[in-house]
């Protein structure tokens, strides 16, 4: 016997999220859980997190280092 309420889960995925049956069945449990989580449930981005993102993905590319294959 399954502990999942499959009819309810399928209703949420197919009707609520408007997923195609193929897309619904290809989701992992983690992906479905993420899609069903309230917006912002992952916590707010703090200043340190923002700075890490800005360093990893700068608005302008860093200058190339001529000693390491740059022009």
- Confirm if 3 and 10 have CB atoms less than 8 A apart: no
Average pLDDT across the chain, whole number: 80
- Residue 17: which residues within 8 A CB-CB, separation 6 or more? 24, 35, 36
pLDDT for residue 42:
61
| pLDDT tens track for 27-47 | 998 888 888 876 655 666 778
Of the pLDDT bands very low, low, confident and very high (cuts 50, 70, 90), residue 56 is confident
Going by pLDDT thresholds of 50, 70 and 90, the confidence category of residue 24 is very high
- Percent of the chain topping pLDDT 90: 24
Token pair of 24 as six digits: 């619904």
């Amino acid at each position: 016997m399954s502990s999942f309420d499959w009819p309810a889960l399928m209703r949420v995925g197919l009707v609520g999220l408007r997923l195609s049956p193929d897309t619904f069945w290809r989701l992992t449990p983690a992906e479905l859980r993420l899609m069903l989580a309230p917006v912002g449930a992952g916590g707010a981005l703090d200043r340190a997190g923002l700075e890490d993102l800005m360093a990893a993905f700068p608005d302008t590319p860093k200058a190339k280092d001529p000693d390491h294959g740059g022009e």
